[in-house]
Amino acid sequence: MSEPIITKAKTEVDLQGILNLQSANLRKNLTEEERSTQGFVTLEYDMEFLKIMPAGNHHIVAKDGEKVVGYVLLMDRSTNHLMKEGGGIFPIFDELEYRGRKFKDWNYCSVGQVCVDKNYAGKGLLGKMYASYRESYQSLYELAMTDVSYRNHRSLKAHLKAGFEVIIRFDEPDQGEPWDIIVWDWTV
């Protein structure tokens, strides 16, 4: 195992690597113990949506050789309406306020999902991918925002360490359980 390289997902092979890692870490594919100790991803994207969600930009990946061992997905607001699952969050996002402005008045991107291979977890890889994410896209967006399952303690802790802050906890309309909406302000 070598030190992974952080780059942009630009090939079909990269995108398939994202889907492979996603599948291995879907909540429905993990035991309760694995979900509790390693974290999990909830939404299952397909290749078609993975290609269109960044609206001409690229997802950030960590690769060990040719293997994708981590990713941070970029979702441009222009593709929100194309989500098949989980799209119920966007009307909630738009009406929330942050620093005296409704989110719909901010130029924000959504973090579509993050994941790190369990063999690479706990080594700062998510922080490195998020640093690349911000460097790549802070000239395009003022904020990055996402929601994290209240049950996914490992993910929330990693996001807070990367610079996100919790702005509200709510019952997610598509999941029927508590989630935290978190924001990373790139204007400060």
Q: Can you give the length of the chain in residues? A: 188
Distance, C-alpha 129 to centroid of its chain: 11
Q: Is-contact 171 178, C-beta < 8 A?
A: yes
Q: What's the chain's average pLDDT?
A: 89
The reported pTM is 0.89
Task: Give me 40's structure tokens.
Answer: 């999990």
What residue type is 123 in one-letter code? K
Determine whether domain 5-185 maps to CATH 3.90.1170.50. no
pLDDT digits (tens, 9 = 90+) for 13-40: 999 999 999 999 998 988 888 887 787 8
pLDDT at residue number 140: 96
Stretch among 53-62, 79-88, 147-156 having the lowest mean pLDDT: 79-88
pLDDT at residue number 87: 56
Whether the per-residue pLDDT at 86 is higher than 70: the answer is no
Cα(137)–Cα(128) distance, rounded to whole angstroms? Answer: 14
Tracing tokens 């941070």 back to the chain, one arrives at: 72
Boundaries of every domain in the chain: 5-185
